[in-house]
């Protein structure tokens, strides 16, 4: 796989006014989302729900790619078209979550390290054959008393770099996601510092592992006050702090940065992205790779009648895609 092909995929992922929909919840995570709205967690319900999302009419007007879970990449539409083929035929690049989740980091109470490197080369080879052209690996950085430690940050950065190098070897664009978690009583400055140290460690590791940044996408968390801090930060403050943090840590050769929503409201996730783009020009396209902020309205609606509400739920998916696509251009207008 040439760097040109990886770079082409990476640029397509962050094409102007387009972003990613993250629908890669593991079976355990989708169980929680379904339980929240009273939907039974069966394989058929998971398939039907992912079909609803992926077959939203005109989705590719604002969505460049979708991140799937292993099970979904092996599933098909009710008419028997494999999801990866349906996506490719409809202008959506198939992506795949390849990490195996965050586990307790021994020796570092309260901290996590993401697992999944063993056997990854063979899994990536298969995912490429199944149609995936980019991958995702999420590292989790918690903020609390005396954490995160340098040990946790560096262990996660090392795993992200090994994953990214394997992806590029196998022809997939690595999306590297070091998520600094919003939960906690910390202030916005603490989030800034932790995000800065995390990104410095990540880009140092990517360099050490010969990862080609031209064929890599960063999935970043925004710089926010902790959810239980009692602090309120304005849209301008969050956008300015996030931009400054990224500009001081992320090389300009990276083709693009996409954000996770991380538990923000739909509107906050859109407003923050929009403001960062209004504050541009920036060194890279800034777009979205939202999970909850793309899906939560649709899931709620669908759960009320999973047979009858498909079209109505798809309408909300389209509206969230359109709003976030406009925010990726700094052209979103808040509904009156
Ligand atoms: P959220 O936007 O719900 O945070 O999910 C994005 C994601 O893929 C996290 O890994």
Q: What are 216-233's pLDDT values in tens digits?
A: 999 999 999 999 999 999
pLDDT at residue 129 in the model? 98
**Domain membership flag for residue 248:** yes
* Alpha helix segments (H runs only) across 116-247: 120-129, 150-169, 188-208, 235-247
* Inside any domain, residue 332: no
Residue 301: inside a domain: yes
Owner of token pair 């925010």 = 327
Of residues 177, 236, 247, 331, which has the active-site annotation?
177
Q: Which residue among 102, 141, 261 is best mutated to probe the pocket of ligand 1, counting the most ligand atoms within 8 A of its Cβ?
A: 261
pTM: 0.98
CA nearest 140: which of 108, 114, 163?
A: 114
- Is 166 within a domain? yes
Confidence at residue 1, expressed as pLDDT on a 0 to 100 scale? 65
Kindly state whether residue 333 falls inside one of the protein's structural domains.
no
Residue 269: inside a domain: yes
292 pocket-lining for ligand 1 (C-beta < 6 Å): yes
- Catalytic residue flag (residue 219): yes
Supply the mean pLDDT for the chain: 98
Task: Kindly give the number of the ligand 1 atom that is closest to the alpha carbon of 295.
Answer: 3
What range defines the domain where residue 222 resides?
Answer: 3-327
C-beta of 177 in contact with ligand 1 (< 6 A): yes
Nearest CA to ligand 1 atom 1: 291
User: Is residue 336 one of the residues assigned to a domain?
Assistant: no
Is the shortest distance between the CB of 83 and ligand 1 below 6 Å?
no
With a cut of 70, say whether residue 105 has pLDDT above it. Answer: yes
pLDDT at 101 > cutoff 90: yes
When divided into structural domains, the chain yields a total of 1
* pLDDT over 90 at 303, yes or no: yes
Q: Is the CB of 261 inside a 6 Å radius of any atom of ligand 1?
A: yes
In a domain? residue 281: yes
177 is catalytic: yes
Q: What are phi and psi of 250, to 5 degrees?
A: -105, 120
HSE (CB half, 13 Å, CA atoms) of 125? Answer: 4
- In this prediction, residues 71-89 reach a mean pLDDT of 98
C-alpha 333/C-alpha 270 separation (Å) is 10
**CATH number of the domain encompassing residue 49:** 3.20.20.70
| Over residues 307-332, mean pLDDT | 98
The pLDDT assigned to 38 comes to: 98
Ligand 1 atom closest to Cα of residue 259: 2
CB–CB of 261/293 below 8 Å? yes
Cβ atoms 224, 238 nearer than 8 A: yes
Provide the strand spans (E) within the chain. Answer: 19-23, 63-68, 93-97, 102-104, 112-114, 134-141, 173-180, 217-220, 257-259, 286-290
Tens of pLDDT, residues 156-200: 999 999 999 999 999 999 999 999 999 999 999 999 999 999 999
């Amino acid at each position: 796989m040439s760097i040109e092909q990886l770079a082409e995929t990476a640029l397509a992922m962050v094409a102007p006014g387009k972003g990613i929909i993250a629908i890669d919840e593991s079976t355990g995570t989708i169980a929680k989302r379904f339980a929240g709205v009273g939907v039974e967690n069966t394989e058929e319900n998971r398939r039907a729900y992912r079909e609803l999302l992926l077959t939203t009419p005109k989705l590719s007007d604002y969505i460049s790619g979708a991140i799937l879970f292993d099970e979904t990449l092996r599933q098909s539409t009710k008419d028997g078209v494999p999801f990866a083929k349906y996506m490719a035929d409809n202008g959506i690049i198939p992506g795949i979550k390849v990490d195996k989740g965050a586990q307790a980091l021994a020796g570092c109470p309260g901290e996590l390290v993401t697992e999944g490197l063993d056997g990854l080369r063979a899994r990536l080879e298969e995912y490429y054959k199944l149609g995936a052209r980019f991958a995702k690996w999420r590292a989790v950085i918690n903020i609390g008393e005396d954490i995160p430690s340098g040990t946790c940050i560096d262990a996660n950065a090392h795993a992200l770099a090994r994953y990214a190098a394997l992806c590029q070897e196998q022809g997939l664009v690595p999306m590297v996601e070091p998520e600094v978690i919003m939960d906690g009583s910390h202030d916005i400055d603490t989030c800034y510092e932790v995000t800065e140290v995390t990104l410095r460690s990540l880009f140092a590791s990517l360099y050490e592992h010969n990862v080609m940044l031209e064929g890599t996408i960063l999935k970043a968390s925004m710089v926010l006050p902790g959810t239980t801090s009692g602090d309120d930060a304005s849209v301008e403050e969050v956008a300015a702090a996030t931009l400054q943090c990224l500009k001081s840590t992320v090389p300009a050769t990276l083709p693009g940065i996409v954000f996770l929503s991380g538990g923000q409201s739909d509107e906050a996730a859109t407003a923050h992205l929009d403001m960062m783009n209004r504050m541009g020009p920036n060194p890279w396209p800034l777009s979205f790779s939202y999970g909850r902020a793309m899906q939560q309205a649709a899931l709620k609606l669908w759960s009320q009648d999973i047979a009858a509400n498909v079209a109505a739920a798809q309408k909300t998916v389209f509206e969230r895609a359109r709003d976030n696509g406009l925010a990726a251009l700094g052209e979103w207008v808040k509904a009156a």
